[in-house]
């Protein structure tokens, strides 16, 4: 099981371009909305400031340059912090005010009027940023389901009705385990630790039993599939895949940079999680085929 599970992960890495491509498509579509919105907002802001401070000519291109300089000045050594800062309304307003003050040389006392203009522009910019995030999120989710279908066809293909049955069973079992953990936590705090450990093995047993129903029913005895040894091997296999994912992500981060490590690492984790979820089915399918 261990050899087969690790091999599944390494083989399925060939599908990495699917979630990456979907993500970048979402980024491109999101930017196609965000960039025109940003340009329109900054042009409108420049016109408003020009009307307020009539003797000063505001160049929208200078505003864009200042905004870009502020973005590049963020701490991109910590990309998650930089991105979370950049997508806050407070940072956008502060950056625009500072840029405008620099352009009008701080000689004019129009702070209140300019602040109102900046708030209106930042609202539109923030709306465009939300649309951008939504498109990226949709593309990531779509990429996940597409690559999951590709991996399933590679290692554990099954009929659609079997997918519905297993999905329904997974929902019921997950809900039951969640309720059990919450109940134990409410009556005894250390109980959730014990419950989590038990749940870990229950999930492995359930995965093997579901895999038996889908791929091994009437082909092999259930007692050959759902055993303590197989449950332990299933857990160990998934743990090894997790370690391989960590190693790949660390190497990518060292060779490239932290941002690349996060983006590619998340994509590798998508594939790892899908393979770990399907390893039980792959094992039972292979075992049943050998016994025929």
CA distance 247 to 266: 13
pTM of the model: 0.74
Contact 8, 150 (CB under 8 A): no
Of 87-91, 158-162, 242-246, where does mean pLDDT reach its minimum?
A: 158-162
Residue 57's pLDDT band (cuts 50, 70, 90):
low
Give how far the C-alpha of residue 190 lies from the chain's centroid of Cα atoms, to the nearest Å: 31
Mean pLDDT, rounded, for 280-284: 86
Contact 214, 166 (CB under 8 A): yes
How does pLDDT run across 6-18, given as a tens digit for each residue? Answer: 999 999 999 999 9
The predicted structure's pLDDT at residue 54: 63
Give how far the C-alpha of residue 53 lies from the chain's centroid of Cα atoms, to the nearest Å: 45
> Any alpha helices (H) in the chain, and if so which ranges?
2-12, 17-52, 60-72, 79-86, 89-103, 111-155, 160-187, 191-211, 222-225, 228-255, 258-291
Contact 23, 143 (CB under 8 A): yes
- Non-local (6+) Cβ contacts of 71 within 8 A are 86
How does pLDDT run across 58-77, given as a tens digit for each residue? Answer: 666 777 777 788 888 888 77
The predicted structure's pLDDT at residue 83: 80
CA distance 19 to 21: 5
Long-range Cβ contact pairs of 225-232 (< 8 A, separation 24 or more): 225/284, 225/287, 230/1, 230/283, 231/201, 231/204, 231/205, 232/204
| Domain ranges for the chain | 22-136, 158-291
The predicted structure's pLDDT at residue 80: 78
CA distance 203 to 183: 18
The predicted structure's pLDDT at residue 111: 60
Contact 9, 283 (CB under 8 A): no
């Amino acid at each position: 099981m261990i050899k087969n599970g690790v091999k599944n992960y390494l083989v399925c890495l060939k599908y990495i371009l699917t979630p990456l491509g979907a993500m970048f498509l979402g980024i491109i579509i999101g930017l196609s909305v965000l960039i025109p919105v940003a340009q329109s907002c900054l042009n409108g802001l420049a016109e408003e400031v020009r009307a307020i401070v009539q003797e000063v000519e505001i160049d929208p291109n200078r505003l864009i340059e200042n905004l870009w300089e502020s973005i590049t000045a963020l701490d991109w050594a910590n990309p998650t912090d930089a991105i979370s800062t950049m997508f806050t309304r407070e940072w956008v307003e502060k950056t625009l005010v500072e840029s405008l003050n620099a352009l009008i040389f701080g000689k004019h006392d129009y702070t209140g009027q300019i602040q109102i203009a900046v708030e209106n522009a930042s609202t539109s910019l923030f709306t465009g940023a939300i649309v951008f995030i939504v498109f990226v999120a949709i593309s990531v989710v779509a990429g996940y389901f597409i690559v999951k279908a590709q991996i399933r066809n590679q290692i554990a293909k099954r009929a659609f009705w079997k997918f519905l049955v297993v999905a329904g069973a997974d929902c019921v079992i997950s809900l039951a385990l969640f309720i059990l953990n919450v109940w134990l936590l409410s009556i005894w705090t250390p109980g959730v630790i014990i419950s989590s450990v038990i749940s870990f093995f229950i999930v492995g047993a359930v995965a093997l039993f579901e895999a038996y129903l889908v791929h091994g029913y009437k082909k092999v005895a259930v007692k050959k599939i759902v055993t303590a040894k197989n449950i332990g091997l299933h857990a160990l296999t998934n743990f090894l895949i997790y370690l391989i994912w960590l190693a790949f992500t660390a190497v990518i981060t060292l060779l490239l940079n932290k941002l690349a490590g996060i983006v590619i690492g998340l994509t590798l984790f998508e594939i790892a999680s899908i393979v770990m979820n399907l390893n039980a089915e792959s094992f039972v399918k292979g075992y049943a085929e050998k016994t025929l």
